[in-house]
């Protein structure tokens, strides 16, 4: 009898566990909070010790960075000549403030940064009091296709290479392998340059699909957290936290899949010119794009896009809150089983996108939970978006519109050090999309 009861309790617990997981299909997923252990949401107070090794100039032979040392990136450091830089779990690399220290993995070279959940690899500021924009960032360049004229381009944003070849990217290899970033944190990057604006925390230019990106956190970046320029990338369990500009930016014919990932925006640190969780475009400069080549195509699954506001209604009224997603013309974008919470509105489509079957078939919003947004899917600069709202509000798309507050919607979104952005499914309720 006891054995049968014990077996019944096990079956019952497994049933409820599986039921809970199935119910948590929107937004980030997982039986446990996969942010625990390797992330740091208060990195300004974390001390890593003084640098013991300096990295500078060009690294033209295979090199390993070890946990026992703390490394300082002095100026622009280029990994060249098909060399591989391997970084041991737990290693700390600091970007120098005065020289905007940056690490650039040139086309044909590799980075193997394979951290662990308990021993992540950390790129951070060299300053004692850390702030966004303290250092440059991490750049990975490959030879996957881009959509600008010609097969290659140069990353012209303030780097100082010894030759143009060191900043070139693009080619024909869609599955190009530039290495691995796993359990990696990039903190306080995005230094401003005089003529080229802000660096990105992580720049992926012409990177191919065999390059692995998994469990990468970019926090407190003064520029874009992650910028994907062309290429063919797969991003999994990514975290962008309180970036000043965009969280994930895709352009130049990027083919990208991003899944089970988070963007957390703060209305108090966003760029005054506007910034989004996702910015999807084929190019910033129309004269550079070759429309005969592929468009930017982004597939998003199980994303949580969250605006971390202490007074959302007031922040919206003050103009501090913008849209979560911007989709430009000449692109394809789909998002499924995701959460968009606390934006004004949730999505803006470029005004050049004509509402017809061809264009709407390339822009898909399905099984997505729109929460606490002042409007959902709009065309830029149009006063009346009723047709678009009705289209994506159809039952065929299975989207949900709600007005739940953060404590009702997420498990622990406002926890200072160990937030949990998974949905608190049992308390979700539907509501009209407007106040």
Q: In which element (H, E) is residue 86 found?
A: strand 84-87
Residue 424 confidence (pLDDT): 87
CA 155 to chain centre: 20
Among the residue ranges 25-34, 170-179, 263-272, the one predicted with the least confidence is 263-272
Say if 432 falls within a structural domain: no
Determine contact, residues 292/332, Cβ cutoff 8 Å.
no
Tens-place pLDDT, residues 196-211: 889 999 999 999 999 9
| Confidence tier at 11 by pLDDT (50, 70, 90) | very low
pLDDT at 3 over 90: no
| Residue 199: both structure tokens together | 């660096």
Residue 188, classified by CB atoms within 10 Å of its CB into exposed (0-12), middle (13-18) or buried (19+), is buried
Determine contact, residues 223/189, Cβ cutoff 8 Å.
yes
pLDDT at 169 over 50: yes
Say if 173 falls within a structural domain: yes
Residue 358, classified by CB atoms within 10 Å of its CB into exposed (0-12), middle (13-18) or buried (19+), is exposed
Tens-place pLDDT, residues 114-167: 999 999 999 999 999 999 999 999 999 999 999 988 889 999 888 989 999 999
Number of domains in the chain: 1
* CA distances from residue 202 to 155, 274, 434 in whole angstroms, order as listed: 13, 20, 36
Say if 238 falls within a structural domain: yes
Average predicted confidence (pLDDT) for the chain: 89
Distance of alpha carbon 54 from alpha carbon 72, whole angstroms: 5
**Cβ-based neighbour number of residue 132 at 10 Å:** 22
Residue 156 confidence (pLDDT): 80
pLDDT at 306 over 50: yes
Tens-place pLDDT, residues 213-259: 999 999 999 999 999 999 999 999 999 999 999 999 999 999 999 99
Phi, psi of 43 (to 5 degrees): -75, -15
| Residue 114: both structure tokens together | 């394979």
Percentage of the chain modeled with pLDDT above 90: 71
Determine contact, residues 405/372, Cβ cutoff 8 Å.
yes
Highest mean pLDDT among 7-16, 72-81, 373-382 belongs to 72-81
Q: In which element (H, E) is residue 319 found?
A: none
Determine contact, residues 344/375, Cβ cutoff 8 Å.
yes
Residue 268 confidence (pLDDT): 87
| Confidence tier at 23 by pLDDT (50, 70, 90) | very low
Say if 5 falls within a structural domain: no
| Residue 384: both structure tokens together | 């009346």
Alpha helices per DSSP H over 245-311: none
Overall average pLDDT of the 355-370 stretch: 92
Residue 284 confidence (pLDDT): 61
Residue 25 confidence (pLDDT): 85
Say if 15 falls within a structural domain: no
* CA distances from residue 255 to 28, 162, 232, 352, 425 in whole angstroms, order as listed: 21, 30, 5, 21, 32
Residue 6 confidence (pLDDT): 44
Alpha helices per DSSP H over 271-423: 312-317, 357-360, 386-392, 406-409
Residue 365 confidence (pLDDT): 95
| Residue 89: both structure tokens together | 């779990």
Is the bond preceding residue 145 a cis peptide, omega within 30 degrees? no
Q: Which domain holds residue 158?
A: 25-427
pLDDT at 435 over 90: no
| Residue 269: both structure tokens together | 């640190």
Residue 5 confidence (pLDDT): 41
Residue 428 confidence (pLDDT): 44
Q: Is residue 41 left, alpha or beta, with left meaning phi > 0 and alpha meaning psi from -120 to 50?
A: alpha
Distance of alpha carbon 367 from alpha carbon 340, whole angstroms: 11
Tens-place pLDDT, residues 251-287: 999 999 999 999 999 988 877 666 899 999 987 665 5
Residue 285 confidence (pLDDT): 60
Length of the chain: 435
150: Cβ–Cβ under 8 A, 6 or more apart, which residues? 170
312: Cβ–Cβ under 8 A, 6 or more apart, which residues? 321, 342, 372
Residue 383 confidence (pLDDT): 74
Percentage of the chain modeled with pLDDT above 70: 90
Taking the chain, what is the end-to-end CA distance rounded to the nearest angstrom? Answer: 56
Say if 109 falls within a structural domain: yes
Overall average pLDDT of the 102-110 stretch: 98
Determine contact, residues 171/205, Cβ cutoff 8 Å.
no
Overall average pLDDT of the 342-370 stretch: 93
pLDDT at 432 over 50: no
Closest CA to 134 of 223, 212, 196, 210: 223
Tens-place pLDDT, residues 365-387: 999 999 999 999 999 988 778 88
Distance of alpha carbon 113 from alpha carbon 207, whole angstroms: 16
pTM for this entry:
0.91
Residue 194 confidence (pLDDT): 83
pLDDT at 99 over 50: yes
Say if 216 falls within a structural domain: yes
Distance of alpha carbon 159 from alpha carbon 102, whole angstroms: 9
Say if 300 falls within a structural domain: yes
């Amino acid at each position: 009898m006891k054995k049968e009861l014990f077996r019944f309790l096990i079956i019952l617990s497994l049933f409820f566990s599986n039921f809970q997981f199935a119910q948590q299909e929107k937004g980030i997923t997982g039986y446990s909070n996969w942010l625990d252990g390797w992330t740091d949401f208060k990195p300004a107070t974390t001390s890593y010790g003084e640098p013991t090794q300096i990295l500078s100039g060009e690294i033209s032979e295979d090199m390993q960075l070890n946990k026992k040392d703390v490394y300082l990136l002095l100026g622009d450091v280029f990994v060249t000549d098909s060399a591989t830089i391997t970084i041991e779990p737990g290693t700390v690399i600091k970007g120098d403030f005065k020289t905007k220290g940056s690490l650039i993995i040139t086309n044909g070279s590799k980075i193997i940064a394979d951290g662990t959940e308990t021993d992540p690899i950390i790129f951070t500021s060299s300053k004692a009091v850390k702030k966004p924009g303290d250092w440059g960032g991490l750049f990975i360049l490959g030879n996957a296709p881009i959509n600008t004229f010609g097969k290659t381009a140069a990353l012209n944003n303030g780097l100082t290479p010894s030759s143009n070849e060191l900043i070139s990217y693009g080619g024909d290899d869609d599955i190009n392998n530039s290495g691995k970033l796993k359990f990696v944190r990039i903190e306080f990057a995005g230094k401003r340059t005089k003529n080229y604006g802000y660096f990105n925390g992580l720049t992926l230019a012409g990177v191919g699909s065999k390059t692995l990106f998994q469990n990468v956190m970019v926090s407190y970046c003064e520029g874009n957290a992650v910028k994907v320029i062309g290429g063919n990338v797969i991003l999994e369990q990514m975290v962008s936290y309180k970036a000043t500009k965009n969280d994930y930016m895709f352009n130049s014919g990027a083919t990208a899949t991003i899944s089970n990932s988070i963007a957390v925006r703060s209305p108090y640190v966003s760029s005054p010119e506007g910034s989004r969780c996702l910015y999807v475009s084929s190019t910033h400069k129309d004269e550079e794009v070759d429309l005969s080549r592929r468009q930017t195509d982004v597939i998003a699954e199980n994303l949580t896009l969250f605006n971390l506001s202490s007074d959302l209604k007031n922040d919206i009224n003050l103009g501090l809150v913008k849209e979560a997603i911007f989709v430009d013309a000449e692109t394809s974008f789909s998002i499924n089983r995701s959460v968009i919470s606390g934006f004004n509105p949730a999505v803006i489509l470029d005004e050049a996108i004509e509402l017809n079957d061809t264009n709407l078939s390339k822009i898909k919003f399905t099984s997505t939970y729109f929460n606490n947004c002042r409007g959902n899917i709009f065309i830029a600069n149009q006063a009346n978006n009723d047709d678009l709202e009705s289209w994506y509000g159809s039952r065929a798309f299975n989207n949900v519109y709600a007005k739940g507050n953060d404590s009702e919607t997420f498990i622990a979104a406002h926890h200072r050090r160990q937030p949990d952005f998974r949905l608190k499914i049992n308390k979700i309720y539907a509501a009209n999309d407007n106040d």
